[in-house]
Amino acid sequence: MGLVRAPEGAGQKLTETRNYAWRLPQRQPLARGSAEAYYVEVCPCTPQIDVQFACWGGRKKDQMEFQPVNLALEGNLLRIDWSDGKSILYDPIQLRQHCPCATCHSERAQAAAEGKVPESSGSPVTVTAMDPAGNYAYKITFSDGHSTGLFTLALLRELGGAE
């Protein structure tokens, strides 16, 4: 599956390709103040990806050096193309095992304290959806119904073995 390009112009709605690929906007903002995060304003003067303006309480979040450019599923693997040119494939099982939500974190901590290995569901896990959470993370929904973890861009880079 090739890269999905967002159309030029302001107020374009991002498209979903084959129910597997979601495209980030080419330029911020992600309609700040709006509940609909998929509408964007495209600035023709700067074609580069610029998603680091996540504001929280009037302050800028830590800015990521690299930003995701394209998200796609290739078979059972999630592919993220980053602005530095790296393309990283993520195993959904690995993502599920590293879910940063409070429930999963406490389950892993409890299993470690008891000297156990956290159990997996036994059935294959796939990514069924990815929704942006602000401009700094993605909420990933898995085939087992789990969807409470926010995977920050920094965590995704770390899990992909990149810096």
pLDDT tens-digit map of 55-78: 333 334 444 678 899 999 999 999
Phi-psi region of 18 (alpha: psi -120 to 50; beta: other; left: phi over 0): left
CATH classification of 16-159 is 3.10.580.10, yes or no?
A: no
Least confident of 49-53, 94-98, 102-106: 49-53
Pair 82, 67: CB distance under 8 Å:
yes
What residue spans define the domains of the chain? 16-159
- Nearest alpha-carbon partner for 72 in 109, 113, 17, 110: 17
The reported pLDDT for the residue numbered 106 is 92
Pair 70, 4: CB distance under 8 Å:
yes
Mean pLDDT of the chain: 69
Tell me the H-state helices in the chain. 92-97, 102-113, 153-159
Pair 89, 159: CB distance under 8 Å:
no
Phi-psi region of 31 (alpha: psi -120 to 50; beta: other; left: phi over 0): left
The reported pLDDT for the residue numbered 123 is 75
* pLDDT tens profile 16-46: 333 334 444 444 444 444 343 333 333 333 3
* pLDDT tens profile 116-131: 776 665 678 999 999 9
For residue 106, how far is the Cα from the chain centroid? 22
The reported pLDDT for the residue numbered 119 is 66
- CA separation, residue 132 to residues 62, 123, 140 (Å): 17, 26, 9
